[in-house]
Amino acid sequence: MNDAVKNVKLHLVVLALVVVSELIGIITFKVGPGKLVLLPMLYAMFIGIFLGPKFFKIVKEKEMVQASTLVGLTLLLLMARYGTLVGPKFYDILKAGPALILQEFGNIATLFVGIPIAMYLGLKREAVGAAHSIAREPNVALIGDIYGLDSAEGRGVMGVYICGTVFGTIFFGLMASFLAAFNIFHPYALAMASGVGSASMMTASIGSLSAAYPSMAQEIQAFGVASNTLSGIDGVYMSLILALPLSNKLYNYLYKIKFNESPEAV
């Protein structure tokens, strides 16, 4: 991290990305009854990709590694800012307490969708590591402790972790915009659903929602932060007690159907 902090070029590139992205501003498109919102964070992500060693080579691989060490630090500042939004809306959040707690069970839906698709694509035990959660840091640590990161489950969780790091923010920002555009769910429900345990994904999602519902922006941010905090606290326990056992049972069941034999026989 010390090398990254002292890297002047890195800070100048980031500053340029911020300035260009903010100059482009928020772009909205009409989609049915609502609108799709493209935020500056999305432009910065795409431009940053093209500045890397695979394209224009303005940023070298070593500098990309250094930049990744600063992500946690910048998110700490961001979460401190969001923390100031929760306090004034404390009683509103308290009223939605049961909803905030119960929505955590929605995270388990990941495995019921992800494991069948992963196995259909040819994955075996990798599917359990990949699809039992959204594979953020606590989930990587859990899989590493139980199975080891050099195991099939470890390869699965690391694969999703890397994909989530690269594409997760973009996906969450666009998905929130699409859902907001069709007015299927209440904005507060979408805000709570944004808090899956990843600060960057949550930020992209509530940013899109805040742009779609500017009159509710503060409430949306408060619900998103509160939900993300709860997911960070109970996420490991949900995975350990519910998600992983259910993932293994579902994997064994689907394996017998697909291969007509018990997975222990392999």
List b or e across 185-207, with b for residues whose CB sees 16 or more CB atoms inside 10 angstroms: eebbebbbbbbbbbbbbbbbbbb
- Asked whether the beta carbons of 156 and 114 are under 8 A apart, the reply is no
Exposed / middle / buried, residue 12 (Cβ in 10 Å: 0-12, 13-18, 19+) = exposed
Q: How many residues does the chain have?
A: 266
CA 247 to chain centre: 20
**Whole-model pTM above 0.85?**
no
The token pair at 222 is 């408060």
Residue 265: which pLDDT band, with cuts at 50, 70 and 90?
Answer: very low
The answer to whether residue 25 scores a pLDDT higher than 50 is yes
Residue 77: which pLDDT band, with cuts at 50, 70 and 90?
Answer: confident
Distance separating alpha carbons of residues 252 and 83, to the nearest angstrom = 42
pLDDT in tens, 113-129: 999 999 999 899 999 99
How far are the Cα atoms of 49, 113, 172, 211 from residue 176, in angstroms, in the given order?
A: 22, 19, 6, 11
3-class secondary-structure state, position 7: coil
pLDDT in tens, 229-263: 777 667 777 888 899 999 999 999 999 988 888 77
